[in-house]
Chain A
Amino acid sequence: MLLFCLILINMTYPSMTFARVCSNIYFLNDLCRHALLPLQMFFAIERQSGLDDPVRLRRAESTRRVLSLELNHNRDVDRIHGNGINTLDIEVIDGRYMLSGGSDGVIVIYDLENNSKKPQYTCKAICTVGRSSRHVHKFSVETVQWYPHDTGMFVSSSFDKTMKVWDTETLKPAEEFQFDGNVYCHHMSPVARKHSLVAVGTKDPKVQLCDLKSGSRIHILQGHRGEILSVRWSPRYDHILATASTDSRVHIWDVRRASGSLFTLDQHNGDKSKTSSEAVNTAHNGRVNGLCFTADGLHLLTTGTDDRMRLWNSATGENTLVNYGKVVNESRKGLKFTVSRGCSPEFVFVPCGSSVAVYGLHSGELITMLRGHYNNVDCCEFHPDYQELYSGGKDCNILAWVPVLRQPDIEDEETNSKRGGTQAAINPAFEDAWSSDED
C-alpha cells in the first residue's frame, strides 16, 4: 500500500520531492480523495517515516475521537445515587478511579477500567460512603476531589458546612474542617509540591485556605463581596488561584502575597464606555458560577448566569472576546465544566440544561449538543487518556460518552462474515493469540 502511494505520487508529480509532498496537508487531502486513503493513514505514514512529530498523529486522532463522542450502549456506570449527582472527579495518576458526590451526601468510588474481555462493561462502584456510614455528610456533597498525588486520600465538601479529608482505605475522615456557611466548592492545586493548601469557597465572601499538613486554616483572602461559588488553582503555577463570586467578579490571587488580589477580570477590558458605571470591572453581568483553566493554564474560562461564557488570558486578565453565544446557565450553585486535553482545537464541555454542549475553545462555535440525560446536568469530567466524557446530573445517572469506534476495513469485514458474522468484533488486543490448545 505504501509503495503504491509512493509510486502514485512520483508519477503524478515527479518534480516534487517526497518530503515537500507530505508537508503540504491540503495537497495530501486532494491526493487522498483521488486515492481514497484515509488521511489518518498519511499521518501514520509520516510518523513512521520520521517526517512528522509523533505528537501530531496523537493530536489528530484525539481530536477525531472527541468529535465523534456519543452514547454507547456497551458502556454504563453503576447507578448508586438516590438523588442528583453534583460532582465527579477522575484521578490523574492512572485515570482509573472516579469519585462522585451526590445531593444525598453519598460519595461513591467507581472503577473505570474494563478488565473483562467483552466490550459490554458497567463501571462498578467499588466502595461507597453511604447513608449508613457514621461519617457521611449530613447534606448535599458539592465538591469532591482526589488528592492530586495519589489515590490514598480524597477531600469532599458539603452544604453541612464541613470539609472532610477521607482515607480511601478505611473510608473514614482523617480530618474535618468546620466552616460558618455552606461550602460551595474547594480545590487542591494539581501541581503543587511545596504546599498542600486547599482553597475553600463558602457563603462567606472571604476565601479560606486550609493546610492539609497542619490541619489548620492558615490564610484568608479578602476582596469579594458575595458568596464564593467557584475556586480553581492554576495548573501551571502552584501559587495562582482564581475565585468566582456572586458579586459578578473574578479575582486572580497570588497566595504568596500578603496584600489583595493580583487583578480582577474585566469583561470590557477596561473600556469603561461600553456599560453602565455600576457594572464596571465585572467579569459577567450576573453571578459567576463556573471556572475552568485550560490544560496548559494559559487561559481561563468563566461562565455566568448572564448566559455567557468568556475566555480570558490568565496572565494578563484580558478578555479574548471569543463569542460562544448564549450558554444557558440557570445554576444557583457552582457549575462544573471541563476542557479537553491533548486535542488540536481544544473543546469545552459545558452542561446546558439537560444536555452537554461542546464548543470549540478558540473559535467559539457550537460543535454539538450531547443529549441523553433526563434532567439537568450538573457536572462533567473529561478522561484525557481515552477521550471519554462522564457527565452526571439530577436524574441520578452518570453517562459515559465514548468515541465511536473506527469501522473495520473491508477485508476484515468480509472475513468476519465468512466466519458466520459475530455481532461485535472482539478487540484484537483481547484476542487470545498465545495460549496453545493443549493447555
Chain B
Amino acid sequence: MRKQLNKEVAVFKSRMNRKRALIADTFCLTKRRRCAADSVTGESQDIRSSLQYLVTLFSRKLFNDSLPPVVLKHQLYSLHNDKTSVDKQVNELRETGELLMFQLGFDSEAFALVFAEDYRAKVLQGEAGRGTLGTVEKFLTKLIPSCSDLSFNKEKMLKEFLFTDSEITQLVKSGVLTVRDAGSWWLSIPNSGKFIKYFIKGRKAVLGMVKKSKYGEILQTELEGRRTTSQVKFQMKYHIHDIIGAELVECIQTTSGTLLRYVDGNVN
C-alpha cells in the first residue's frame, strides 16, 4: 500500500512541476528556517576548527618562533555568516579558559585571539633564564583558567591578585602587560610590536592591490595567486580573511567565484 502511495505521489509531482517554480518564494522562508536550524547545531564545532585553520595560516617563522599564533576575531566573520553567534561562541571559549582575547591598540574593534596553551608556552619560553620568570608564571596561573578581562587596573592587581608594585613593573618589563593609562594596563602578547607593524603594512598593501585593480575589484582566487610584495610578510589568505571580516572590501558572489570590491570611504 505504501508503494502504491509513493507511485501516486510521484505522478502528482510530475504534474505539479510547474507549480513548484511559482511558489518557490514561499519556500524561501521555510528553507531559510531550515538552514538556520542546521547551521546552529554544526557551528560550535566549527568555530574551533576555523580558529585552528586560521592558526595554520599564521607564519611562525617570521618571528623566529617567539610569538604564539595570533588570529584576529574579525577573521572569523569571513568564515561564518552569523556574527552574533561567532561572538557568543568566542565568549564561551574565553569563559572556559581555552582562548585569550587581547586589545591590539591600532583599532578599537580589532581583537586578537590566542589559544591559552600556546600563549602560556611561548611566554614561558621567552622568559626562560630571566629573573622575571617567577612573577610571570604566577600571573599566568592566576590569569588563564579564571580571568577573562582585557585590562587590569591597579586595585585589581594589588587586592585581587596580590601583586606588589615591583612585581607589576616586572610584568610590564616582560611584555605581558602594557600601559593603558595611569594605574591600568592592557593584557598583551610579548614581542607583539613587530606583529602589529607587519600586519598593518601588509593590510595596507593588500588593500592597495584591490584598489589598484581595474574597477577596484578583483576575484578572490586571483588575489590569492598574486605574488606578494616585500610589504606583505604574512600569507595572502591571512590578509584576505582579515579584510573580508573587517568589511574593508565588499564580497560579491559571481559565477566565477567570490569578487572582492574595494569599499570607498575606508580610513585605512
Contacts and interface: CB of A to CB of B under 8 A. Distances in A.
Contact of B149 (A68, A273, A406): A273
B233 to A, nearest CB: 26
Given A321-B87, A323-B83, A323-B87, A39 B29 contact: yes
Given A277-B184, A323-B84, A67 B28 contact: yes
Interface residues of B, number: 40
A231 to B, nearest CB: 27
Interface stretch (A28-36, A108-116, A160-168, A191-199): A28-36
Nearest to B32: A67
Nearest to B248: A326
B151 A273 contact: yes
A354 to B, nearest CB: 12
Contacts of A410: 18-19, 22
A103 to B, nearest CB: 22
B153 to A, nearest CB: 8
Interface in B80-131: 81-84, 86-88, 103, 108
Nearest to B28: A67
B182 to A, nearest CB: 9
A12 B108 contact: no
Contacts of B1: 11
Contacts of B25: 64, 68, 404, 406
Interface in B49-85: 77, 81-84
Contact of B84 (A275, A279, A364): A364
A63 B181 CA distance: 50
B42 interface: no
Contacts of A364: 82-84
Interface string A16-60: 000000000010010010111011100000000000000000001
Given A410-B18, A410-B19, A322 B84 contact: yes
A385 interface: no
A35 B12 contact: yes
Interface string B3-42: 0010001001100101110110111111000101000000
The residue in B16, B26, B81, B82 that gathers the most chain A C-beta atoms within 10 A of its C-beta is: B26
The residue in B13, B20, B83, B84 that gathers the most chain A C-beta atoms within 10 A of its C-beta is: B84
A330 B87 contact: no
A26 B33 CA distance: 10
Interface in A308-367: 321-326, 328, 330, 363-365
A214 interface: no
B22 A407 contact: yes
A190 to B, nearest CB: 29
Contacts of A324: 83
A364 B80 CA distance: 13
A325 B109 CA distance: 11
Contact of A285 (B19, B103, B108): B108
A435 interface: no
Contact of B34 (A29, A328, A406): A29
Nearest to B182: A277
A45 B152 CA distance: 60
A436 interface: no
A371 interface: no
A365 B26 contact: no
B9 A35 contact: yes
Given A26-B34, A323-B84, 6 more contacts: A64-B25, A68-B25, A273-B151, A277-B181, A321-B88, A323-B83
In the A-B complex, list the 5 residue pairs whose CB atoms are closest, starting with the nearest.
A323-B83, A326-B247, A273-B151, A273-B149, A407-B22
28 contacts: A8-B5, A29-B34, A34-B9, A36-B19, A38-B26, A39-B26, A40-B26, A63-B29, A64-B25, A64-B26, A274-B151, A276-B108, A277-B180, A277-B181, A323-B84, A324-B83, A325-B247, A326-B247, A330-B265, A363-B82, A363-B84, A364-B82, A364-B84, A406-B25, A407-B22, A409-B22, A410-B18, A410-B22
